Structure 1
């Protein structure tokens, strides 16, 4: 059974207006005083209004869900103590005219000097799933196998429809914002681990990126852990949705290592399919990687589930995944529910939904 770990990014918002507030240092300090957390589980992010958590290495989805509940509850309690709220949304729905300051580390300050406007607009939050792999050669095989399925994961996990107080028309605006960095979007195909390492080293040696930390592909090999890190997803409103996404990612990795055939994956097709996934989420059509044709979203996610059925069965997650995916299609993903809340009662309803479902 492949190990799994999850990182989630959150934003801290004012409880009345929903605008981001630069209180991450205070919230982290308050959270670290709680006995429920251990060292390193809560980390700072690029903006002083953002904070990140990382689960321990897990073997089951029950473990993943339990750790995420514990971490979210602890941070939500700390945020309330600091006069703000914890929000698991892929983009900040409401902002004022003030720029949120960058966390004052050498790395983040250097990033802002290099791309000031882009850094100022990085009020976006992702979910990163780490899946353990035997070695880097296996990791590259997994990356190649994941590529056609990244748009479907993007659509399922879409949770960022609003930006600067308006509806973007996209289900995952975070995907669009994050895709503006030099090395981002779906990864290319690699011949093997040596090819992967050579091409990344060349990017650094030629000065196109400062270091390997600026490899922002939607899936990459971790430089710190023996894992494949999948980063195509918005942070999820609820823990149940995060567990679903984590389970699908692990099952995709396992099915690839088990020899499942990878559908054709031309780079222009994957990039275009990813744009449509970010645009429509699960409410319109998606491009089915198996047929290469636009199909209703349920059919595309059905193809994904068929691809990973054996892997889900092997870990005992088949019924859970079916139940959670069925609920998502019935009730809508985060983007659908945020829009529904806005139509129902406006801005206050969106803030309430995000805060309540986060914790």
Structure 2
């Protein structure tokens, strides 16, 4: 069984205006006092209007679901204590003219000094899925094989259409903002674990990047855990959609691991084993622009097709892995519902048209599935 862990980043926003507020330390300290929260599950992020949670290592999607609901609920309650709201949108839909200060750590202060404008505009939040791998050689094989899948994952998870009070025209503006940092986008192909290590550490040793944490590829090997970290997703409005994406990513990784163990060529679109980087860069931009409202990039053929056709082919290929893990019931229905109802970006736009700013803030602020004005006491750890 391929294990998974999920990290989610959230914004702290003013409940009335939706403008990000710098209250992360207060909210984090209050959350840490709750019986539902374990030590180190709630962490600082770059800006003081952001927080991140990390689930324990999970073997089932049921565990992922339980932990995300527990942690979202705890942070939502803590945010209300400090007069703000936790928001699960991939980019701040509204912002003040003054920048949000960085979290007070040496690393974050150094990032602000090196790239002040990029840091000030980093009001974006993502979802990262760690999938367990037996060793770094297998991890590189998964990383190489994931490359054509990343545009599809971006399209499905897109949840950041708004920025500074305007519609960007993109489904995932977070992808565009995130891609402005060095060493970003779709990772290159690596010739095994040694090649990965040599090339990554050369970037640090030459001073081109500060540390390996500044590898902003859409997927990378974790330096702390025996995992591949998929970082291409916007944070999700709904827990069940975050769980679905976790299951989908796990199925892709499990399929690639089977191919690696059997010494079969890793599947890729077209006759070449690996798509050309310019094709994947264009596919990633297309996914960020359109989400799943237009055509989707098919990781199996390297072409654009209708969302139902691409999803049908993908589920056919991933079917054995979904069956082995028991994840099909949590992946397939939610994925099909997402195609019918729209991803987070589509629903944000729809809600803004329907009810204006208040309705939008109600949507992005209902991160744990409970009404924003529910002030019930601390939840318990299950």
Same fold (TM over 0.5): yes
- Which residue of 331, 337, 340 maps to 1:327? 337
**In 2, Cα distance between equivalents of 1:329 and 1:167:** 21
Aligned length: 359
Q: Quick check: 1:43–1:51 contact (8 Å CA) kept in 2?
A: yes
1:73 aligns with 2:52: no
Matches within 5 A, 1:49-88: 49-88=49-88
Deviations 1:308-346 (A, max 9, x none): 111000011113211111111121110010000011011
What corresponds to 2:151 in structure 1? 151
Q: CA deviation at 1:292?
A: 1.9
What corresponds to 2:166 in structure 1? 166
What corresponds to 1:295 in structure 2? 305
Q: CA deviation at 1:303?
A: 2.8
What corresponds to 2:116 in structure 1? 116
Q: Quick check: 2:238–2:367 contact (8 Å CA) kept in 1?
A: yes
What corresponds to 2:18 in structure 1? 18
Q: Quick check: 1:254–1:311 contact (8 Å CA) kept in 2?
A: yes
**In 1, Cα distance between equivalents of 2:356 and 2:131:** 39
1:262 aligns with 2:272: no
**In 2, Cα distance between equivalents of 1:304 and 1:183:** 29
What corresponds to 1:313 in structure 2? 323
Secondary structure of 2:366 counterpart: helix
Matches within 5 A, 1:128-277: 128-259=128-259, 261-264=266-269, 265-277=275-287
After the TM superposition, which segments of 4 or more aligned residues of structure 1 sit over 4 Å from their partners? none
**In 2, Cα distance between equivalents of 1:74 and 1:27:** 10
Deviations 1:123-147 (A, max 9, x none): 0000000011000000000001100
Secondary structure of 2:138 counterpart: helix
- Which residue of 333, 350, 363 maps to 1:353? 363
**In 2, Cα distance between equivalents of 1:145 and 1:345:** 43
**In 1, Cα distance between equivalents of 2:238 and 2:352:** 18
Secondary structure of 1:258 counterpart: helix
Secondary structure of 1:191 counterpart: coil
**In 1, Cα distance between equivalents of 2:330 and 2:74:** 26
**In 2, Cα distance between equivalents of 1:302 and 1:13:** 38
Q: CA deviation at 1:2?
A: 0.7
- Which residue of 289, 292, 296 maps to 1:286? 296
Deviations 1:218-242 (A, max 9, x none): 0000000000000000001110000
Q: Quick check: 2:76–2:367 contact (8 Å CA) kept in 1?
A: no
Q: Quick check: 1:88–1:358 contact (8 Å CA) kept in 2?
A: no
Q: CA deviation at 1:206?
A: 1.3
Secondary structure of 1:21 counterpart: coil
Q: CA deviation at 1:302?
A: 2.6
Secondary structure of 1:52 counterpart: strand
Deviations 1:190-238 (A, max 9, x none): 1100000000011111111011110111000000000000000000111
Gaps of 5+ in 1: none
Deviations 1:5-38 (A, max 9, x none): 0000000000000000000000001101101101
Q: CA deviation at 1:357?
A: 4.1
**In 1, Cα distance between equivalents of 2:257 and 2:135:** 11
What corresponds to 2:350 in structure 1? 340
- Which residue of 285, 296, 304 maps to 2:314? 304
Calculate the TM-score normalised by the size of structure 2: 0.92
What corresponds to 1:102 in structure 2? 102
Structural RMSD (CA): 1.0
**In 2, Cα distance between equivalents of 1:186 and 1:299:** 24
Choose 68-77 or 282-291, whichever is displaced more: 282-291
Q: CA deviation at 1:358?
A: 4.5
Gaps of 5+ in 2: 270-274, 370-382
**In 2, Cα distance between equivalents of 1:303 and 1:206:** 44
Q: CA deviation at 1:304?
A: 2.4
